[in-house]
Structure 1
């Protein structure tokens, strides 16, 4: 997820889908939907019962929120799963996640409020994930704890330069994401783990 949309693309390798519909963005005002979406991003394909185990919630509740995500095109049924049809398999409609931009919603009070609410929910879940890593740091090898990083930089930029930097960072992360995915598809999974990279860029005054 990023902060830039349009309904998600049906092409999983296409450009980042950008949310411009306010009702679609409202889907992510619920924190459990963010957790379910992230769990599905990690597992690639999953049923409601598998996702319920990951987010530690009732299957019926997860199924309800999956339907909400599907109604706005964020997830679709995963192809290639037969069986008796009693439980659907789901996947993201785009493996690039989604983006949204403040500028698409800040012309109306409700839009600005929803953007703020979703952004705060995303921030809370990101902080939760990093705090979990800090709590479990001793369980990771020195190789991983040495590679993990947390940095803050404070350049003095124009708004246009900040946008240029954001575009460069986005392109960099896409390259690394695609590199990891290509290796995984080739069966090169030895030593690979899911990695969260969280970045923020915003103006401030002393």
Structure 2
């Protein structure tokens, strides 16, 4: 008898060397983020939104599909329009990819992580530039804190797992479609060591 599948495993795609090479491209990562954030779209719609040519977005969407990140969304299409949707809500990165024997995989891993960091910076900058457009309640509910702790690698790993468990627990609290003040929120976590000298 098969083990029941954890619902989170269906939402999160674990990157391996092959799928990482298919994703680690700035435009592909941007396309996937747009589909996750805004829902299904055509290559032309994504091109207009991202300031790219529809030929480029179409090509990179097909590459994402070949690696299992996006798929057709025929329920949205009319006529010859090809609509795309994200397959998963997110990806899980394995640090072992940074130590892979293949230099192409290591390079893709490095590019992927730098693109994630660039996206986080862009999202925070956008929030700071548009926070005045949001209600006072949302301005009070936002946070851009940073903390410095003295931890061992084991304690840092425990902290990461605890934060992830806490964040995951809030999925069960997500209000339904009828909550007028509910918005999608982005939560970034970064845990890394720094030298003090």
TM over 0.5: yes
Judging changes above 3 Å, is the alpha-carbon distance between structure 1 residues 53 and 191 closer, same or farther for their aligned structure 2 residues?
farther
5+ residue gaps, structure 1, are 1-8
Q: CA deviation at 1:24?
A: 2.0
Q: Pairwise mapping of residues 152-191 of structure 1 onto structure 2 (< 5 A)?
A: 152-177=146-171, 179-180=173-174, 183=175, 186-191=176-181
124-133 or 165-174, which deviates more: 165-174
Q: Which has the higher contact order (CA 8 A, sep 6+)?
A: 1
5+ residue gaps, structure 2, are none
Q: How many residues align?
A: 190
**190, 194, 197: which one aligns with 1:204:** 194
Displaced runs of 4+ in structure 1, greater than 6 A?
none
**9, 32, 35: which one aligns with 2:30:** 35
Residue 119 of structure 2 aligns to a residue in which SS?
Answer: helix
Structure 2 CA distance for aligned equivalents of residues 12 and 80 of structure 1: 25
TM-score (normalizing by structure 1): 0.80
Return the structure number with greater helix share: 2
Q: Pairwise mapping of residues 43-62 of structure 1 onto structure 2 (< 5 A)?
A: 43-62=38-57
Aligned to 2:59: 64
Aligned to 1:193: 183
Residue 78 of structure 2 aligns to a residue in which SS?
Answer: coil
TM-score (normalizing by structure 2): 0.84
